Amino acid sequence: MAKISALSGFPEWLPAGRIVEQHVIDTFRRIAELHGFGGIETRAVEPMGELLRKGEIDKEVYLLRRLHAEDADDEGADPSRRLGLHFDLTVPLARYVLEHQNDLAFPLRRYQIQKVWRGERPQDGRFREFYQADLDVVAQDTLPGHVEAEVAIVMAEILEALPIPAFTIHANNRRLSEGFFRAIGLEDTAAVLRSLDKLAKIGPEAVATLLRDEAGATDEQAGACLEFAGIRTPDGSFAEGVRALLERHAGSGAGTAGAPEATVEVEEGITALDDVVRRVNAVVPGVCVADLSIARGLDYYTGTVFETFVEGHESLGSICSGGRYDRLAADNRHTYPGVGLSIGLSRLVSRIIGADLAHPTRPVPTCVLVTVGSEETRERSEQVATALRRRGIPAEIAPSAAKLGKQITHASRRRIPYVWLVPEVTGADADRVRDLTSGEQADADPATWSPDSDLLHARVLAGPPTP
């Protein structure tokens, strides 16, 4: 089931691995649809003008060119019209929503599972082509706060259904963070967030230096930010910690003019975060913690922000991140706020396969191998297989009328659980079925026989395969 990667950064799976990946995709889809999210797909390419709107990630984009284009500027002289492969599913969603706002019903509940491409250095263990799986609610003009918990609940249920160890969704709130920074006198809240976002990577001392150098913090302010980021509670008790900290540091900074508004902002953030943690845990107990270190580098979040970590696999980083953004897209008439979460699906599947967190019960869909007596009687075997398939039982026919032992080996090598023994092979009067696990054999009629329901389809089970 090993990963194939002869082309560095472009993962591929053997058939057994693909069953695991398909299982993850199917699980995502099933649970998203249970919650009324509909699937969409966008084209893989966008004009460079769309892709580079958020300037910072431009280095990672793959540009397209037709091999034998009439001239180099085949796609138009305007470089913003040239086509590139999308590097996430958020930029295409924003474009799709604006383009089709008149044909979509808002709030739009959509999921999207597609490959994305990034020109990352593969030596960093990153993929250049990988699946992302996104879940967003996008509203027209106004988006009620309760959606922030709802999207997290759907994602918690999806992750809970996947073959991964215990995971925790860490939630924070932008208004809470920014209000707190302002209340202690730090006005460049974006710089503070960017510094705190590096905490796990570079540690508190280096972050304190950054806060002083980049966000203009005093030693006391930097200390307060680090204390703030240290607050992590499984319930609403983070509020007490924040209020106590605020009391100690509120008058400490330079600018206290904004303090009353900032304090209101902090309290609004507390209420919103408390609501998210409580409501997510009400549906999936113990899965969500308030973690005030969660900063998320990107500017565009405006409410709750999320990151998700898997126990024992912290090296993966956050496997599922996102939050609320008040301005996914906008035109002269409307603004589109939303809440979204995204799983780096290929990275997660790669770990599931690589660490033997799950395995398929067999590497093929086939439940029954129908034997063949001779090429002259192959059509009789085909009738058996057709009868089984009409009843939903995956069946294939032995590729050649080899000796019975060889036909059985064909099945057992693929872990196909049953072999159908036609009279032409056995010399018996009736059809028989052999259960390859138990070795037992019994008369059977293709119009009525059924396999053990656990064996009907290839399934994905947690843990390593049994040898």
Applying the rule CB under 8 A, the residues between 9 and 48 that interact with its own copies are: 10-15, 18-19, 21-22, 33-45, 47-48
Task: Give the range of 77-85, 257-265, 292-300, 333-341 binding its own copies by CB under 8 A.
Answer: 77-85
Closest CA to 221 of 187, 260, 175: 187
Single out the residue of 71, 247, 331, 375 in contact with its own copies (rule: CB under 8 A): 375
Footprint on residues 258-287 left by its own copies (CB under 8 A) = 279, 282-283
Q: Which of 49, 53, 69, 206 binds its own copies (CB under 8 A)?
A: 69
**Beta carbon of residue 281, minimum distance to its own copies (angstroms, whole number):** 12
Whether the upstream peptide bond of residue 79 has omega within 30° of 0, thus cis, is: no
| Of the residues 122, 394, 423, 465, which one makes contact with its own copies according to CB under 8 A | 394
Query: CA nearest 135: which of 235, 16, 38?
Result: 38
Q: How far is the CB of 25 from its own copies (least distance, A)?
A: 10
Residues of span 418-457 touching its own copies by CB under 8 A: 457
Shortest distance (Å) from residue 458 CB to its own copies: 8
Q: How far is the CB of 59 from its own copies (least distance, A)?
A: 4
CA 186 to chain CA centroid, nearest Å = 35
Other CB atoms within 10 A of residue 435 CB = 15
For the chain, the distance separating the N- and C-terminal CA atoms, rounded to the nearest angstrom, is 13
Q: What is the DSSP letter of 142?
A: -
Q: Looking at beta carbons only, is 281 or 308 nearer to its own copies?
A: 281
Identity of residue 448: T
- Rounded CA gap, 133 and 313, in Å? 19
Report CA Rg, the chain. 28
Cβ closer to its own copies: 4 or 254? 4
Q: Pick the closer one to its own copies by CB: 279 or 351.
A: 279
Looking at beta carbons only, is 71 or 375 nearer to its own copies? 375
For residue 371, which of 334, 344, 337, 405 has the smallest C-alpha distance? Answer: 405
Which of 134, 148, 150, 291 lies at the binding interface for its own copies (CB under 8 A)? 150
Instruction: Look at the chain and count its residues.
Output: 467
Instruction: Quote the tokens at residue 425.
Output: 């092979």
Sole binder of its own copies in the list 192, 266, 348, 397 (CB under 8 A): 397
366 binds its own copies (CB under 8 A): yes
Nearer to its own copies, 294 or 364 (CB): 364
Nearest-angstrom CA–CA distance, 103 and 40: 14
Answer yes or no: are the C-beta atoms of 134 and 342 closer than 8 Å: yes
* Subset of residues 398 to 417 that bind its own copies, contact rule: CB under 8 A: 399-400, 413-414
d(CA 157, CA 13): 26
| Residue 231, helix vs strand vs coil | coil
Phi, psi of 331, rounded to the nearest 5 degrees: -135, -165
CB of 152 to its own copies, least distance (A): 13
- Residues 186-245 contacting its own copies, CB under 8 A: none
List the structure tokens of 43: 């084209």
| Torsion angle (degrees, nearest 10) of CA 60, 65, 71, 73 | -40
Which two three-digit tokens encode residue 46? 């966008």
Query: In the range 83-142, which residues lie near its own copies by CB under 8 A?
Result: 83-85, 96, 99-100, 103-105, 107, 109-110, 115, 117, 119, 129, 139
Of the candidate spans 220-228, 313-321, 337-345, 392-400, the one that interacts with its own copies by CB under 8 A turns out to be 392-400
In the bound complex, what is the minimum distance in angstroms from residue 185's beta carbon to its own copies? 35
42 or 302, CB closer to its own copies? 42
- Please state the closest distance from residue 90 (CB atom) to its own copies, in A: 16
CB of 228 to its own copies, least distance (A): 29
Give yes or no for residue 72 binding its own copies (CB under 8 A): no
Q: Which is nearer to its own copies, 247 or 375 (CB)?
A: 375
| 100 versus 327: smaller Cβ distance to its own copies | 100
Q: How far apart, in whole angstroms, are the C-alpha atoms of residue 340 and residue 336?
A: 12
Question: Does residue 296 bind its own copies (CB under 8 A)?
Answer: no
Task: Name which of 34 and 206 has its Cβ closer to its own copies.
Answer: 34
Measured between alpha carbons, how far is 214 from 211 in angstroms, rounded to an integer? 5
CB of 166 to its own copies, least distance (A): 21
Residue labelled with tokens 């872990």:
415
What is d(CA 111, CA 137) in angstroms, rounded to the nearest whole number? 9
